[in-house]
Amino acid sequence: MDYSIFHQDLTQRLESSRLNNNEHIALLMFCIDHISEMNDTFGPGTSEQIVLHTEEIFRKHLPSNAIFASLGDDRFTIAFTNLTHDIESLATKLLALIQHPVRIGPHDVFISASAGLALFPEDANTSDGLIQASETALRWAKASNQHAAAHRYTRTVQIEASHNYRRINELLGAIDRQEYVNFYQPKVDLKTGRVVGCEALTRWNHPIHGILEPDAFIPVLEEEGLITALGEWTIHDACLQLKRWHASGIMLDQIAVNISAQQFCSPNFVQMVDTAIRTYGLQPHQLELELTESCLLENVEHAIQVFHALKEVGVHLSIDDFGIGYSSLRYLKDIPLDALKIDRSFVAEITTNAQVSAICQSMVQLGHHLNLNVIAEGVESTAQLEHVRGYGCDVFQGFLCSRALPENVFAQWLPKDLLWTVNHPAGV
């Protein structure tokens, strides 16, 4: 459907819904990721074929109460009235259908897509408002690399949309006002039960909204190119914390921090890490940097150099969320690493899905053949614990043991001898 007809139709539907007790209308905004690069990689005409293929999927699978328009190169919007379906599962199903490889000439082209979801009347009450809200939610889906489900326009997204500029200043000023705080989640050795370290997970203690999780502020900082400032604060705070624990007799081996791709590629990153370690007098291996495969997407040669320079400094390097990225396994031979962290989406299905369980086993073997430690994240049950232990994982992390905790709660939660057992109460 032509976009102007779609817009008119949507406006009419909103009008009749208003007369009908504000019957729900859902708007989904889909975007095919990296479509502009596909012609370069797979030859001219590839993107057009992918757009046609995607339209075909929508035509085949949309229920009769849906209207659909293509918005140009990579975007599609769909409105649903008389919502009889669970819209979130429908969006998940559509994303899964789109994200199948498509045969184009001699290539199997893997498609990744993102989706944003907004609802009338909760999120907006005009067609333009609804479209804008779904666009905003889509931006968040893309920034947080969310491809399996539609990102729902939420309160935190709303804050970003309506106070974007104010919020950016707010986000930056938050470092000076000391509103960011690191929470800590333990990492446990699966053979000995010893708490070997922890991961620092940043929260924003917002003066009005209270404790906000990273997905409320990290994507905005990344989008605005401002993540490096927070990243530097996080590393310094984590190093200081480990030093303080050591001074009070809590002898954790290591502290891990997450590094975003943007921060990793920033000039002087290696020097900043080196300075932080020296400032607090840590041994380099006591700091672990958790990096994602996205670090290697932009400029592979530069990224490989940075990995080597960090290894020279002596910090530990691990690949976070391993298994869900889009780069090839080839890079594993080119970069010096210490650990792989199996993404928690695999662990979530390890006991219920034989294929997932086989993939996890293979990831552990792959890691071990490369002399890497393998960490399972997102372990929530004893059944999952036994699976990852059975596969030979070295370390686990997850709610079964503890959520990420504020510093003082974490220190109280830690077993005195650092030996964790299933009977130890979970940190909540």
- Does position 224 bind ligand C2E by CB under 6 A? no
> Could you say whether residue 367 binds ligand C2E (CB under 6 A)?
no
Contact code string over 181-200 relative to ligand C2E, x by CB under 6 A = ----x---------------
Question: What is the nearest approach in angstroms of Mg ion to the Cβ of residue 254?
Answer: 13
Decide whether 170 or 320 has the Cβ nearer to Mg ion: 320
Concatenated DSSP letters for 381-408?
SHHHHHHHHHTT-SEEESTTTB--EEHH
| Among 132-140, 227-235, 298-306, 385-393, the segment contacting ligand C2E (CB under 6 A) | 227-235
Alpha helices in 163-268 (DSSP H): 164-176, 218-223, 227-247, 261-264
Using CA atoms, how far apart are residues 178 and 126, in angstroms rounded to an integer? 39
- 213's contact among Mg ion, ligand C2E, none, with CB below 5 to 8 A by partner kind, is ligand C2E
Considering only residues 113 to 142 of the shown chain, the ones binding ligand C2E according to CB under 6 A are none
CA–CA separation, 276 vs 240, rounded Å?
9
Q: Does 254 bind ligand C2E (CB under 6 A)?
A: no
* Least spacing, CB of residue 221 vs ligand C2E, in Å: 8
Long-range contacts formed by 326-334: CB under 8 A, 24+ apart: 326/110, 326/112, 326/293, 326/297, 327/293, 327/296, 327/297, 329/366, 331/293, 331/296, 331/300, 331/304, 332/366, 332/370, 334/304
Binding status of residue 201 toward ligand C2E by CB under 6 A: yes
Please report, as residue ranges, which positions from 371 to 390 form the binding site for ligand C2E (by CB under 6 A).
Answer: 377-380
Q: Is 404 in the site for ligand C2E (CB under 6 A)?
A: yes
Query: Is 119 within 8 Å of 24 (Cβ atoms)?
Result: yes
| Window 285 to 304, contacts with ligand C2E (CB under 6 A) | 290
Distance in Å, CB of 373 to Mg ion, minimum: 14
Nearest 10 degrees: Cα torsion 217, 223, 225, 226: -10
Interface with Mg ion (CB under 5 A)? 258, 290, 320-321
User: Interacting stretch for ligand C2E, rule CB under 6 A, among 253-261, 273-281, 303-311, 416-424?
Assistant: 253-261
Q: Binding to ligand C2E by residue 344, rule CB under 6 A?
A: yes
Q: Where are the alpha helices (DSSP H) in 67-210?
A: 87-98, 127-143, 155-162, 164-176
Burial of 416 (0-12, 13-18, 19+ CB in 10 A): exposed
Interface with ligand C2E (CB under 6 A), residue from 34, 149, 399, 406 = 399
Per CB under 6 A, residues contacting ligand C2E are 185, 201-202, 213-214, 218, 227, 231, 234, 258-260, 290, 320-321, 344, 377-380, 397-399, 404
